[in-house]
Amino acid sequence: LPISALVGAAILGPRLGRFENPAAFEGHSTPLQIIGTFLLWFGWYGFNPGSTLMIHGYGRDAARACVTTTLAAASGGVTGLFVKKYLPTKFGGTHIWDVGHTCNSLLGGLVGITAGCSVVTANHAILIGFIAAFVYHGASCLMRKLKIDDPLDAFAVHGACGLWGVWAVGLFAHASYSYAPAAGSAARLGADGADLGVDAGILMPGARGTLFLMQLITPLIEIAWVTTTSGILFSILKACKIFRVSADQETVGMDVSKHGGDAYTSTGGT
């Protein structure tokens, strides 16, 4: 989905004046952004630990997912706070304590830990969140450099950090945290007694490299497929002139044209 959205945004083009007057497109409510971020963080505990779909027999995995989710989110948020404050301006730093960037860095940490939340250690969860903050920052800067209008930095958070999270499984997955064979089935053991059905991240003991290669290559295949199909779809919509509202509608605000009222009466539009 983030790749499809990225392709769509690139083909659609930026909003009128987006890169000529970027200050006019900043978020209008920092408190609401903070509330939304914490609601998402809270919801992630249903998403990651809740993905076990049951607690009986999976309490260990659900508990680990809670811990790693918390640590990666906190690590990403704190790292993003200092990244934006202290990086040089030419690398995207602003030298202020940027709350919005911190919120998105926190979300980047959550996205980055999702794939491996039940199979990585607490220390590696902190590292994954730390790296996710830099991945988010770099992807966000790249979008602005390419003048691709991503209003919520959705690709940088969900696309770039999601890809990092998938790769992180191939790096840090712990073999002993993998699920045991299903009831009634026997583990496949090699000559050295190792379970052939379980592989570890390439940086972990017992790694054979298969998991790493799968985590590295599979998302690239998916990205190629989604980019191609999305590009065809959005290009057709643009050619048919049904992919974008008129300039007048965009200037006035789509709240007026699509919803029958102005959501921002003090500014005269959105």
Q: Give tens-digit pLDDT for 90-114.
A: 999 999 999 999 999 999 999 999 9
CA dihedral 116, 117, 119, 122 (to 10 degrees): 120
Asked whether residue 65 carries a pLDDT value surpassing 70, the answer given is yes
Indicate whether this model's pTM tops 0.85. yes
Give me 64's structure tokens. 């680990």
In the chain, % of residues over pLDDT 70:
90
Q: Say whether pLDDT at 69 is over 70.
A: yes
> Nearest to residue 187, comparing CAs of 173, 177, 198?
198
Main-chain phi, psi angles of 193, to 5 degrees: 85, 0
Q: Select the more confidently predicted residue: 162 or 248.
A: 162
Q: What would the two tokens of residue 247 be?
A: 């300039």
Which of 141-147's residues contact partners 24+ apart within 8 Å by CB, and which partners? 141/91, 141/92, 144/19, 146/10, 147/14, 147/19
The tally of CA atoms less than 13 A away on the side-chain side of residue 136 is 36
Between CA 268 and CA 262 the distance in angstroms is 7
Q: Residue 179 has what pLDDT?
A: 56
Confidence at residue 3, expressed as pLDDT on a 0 to 100 scale: 93
User: Model confidence over 124-181: pLDDT tens digits?
Assistant: 999 999 999 999 999 999 999 999 999 889 999 999 999 999 999 999 999 888 755 4
Amino acid 267: pLDDT: 52
Q: What angle do CA 170, 123, 86 make, to 5 degrees?
A: 100
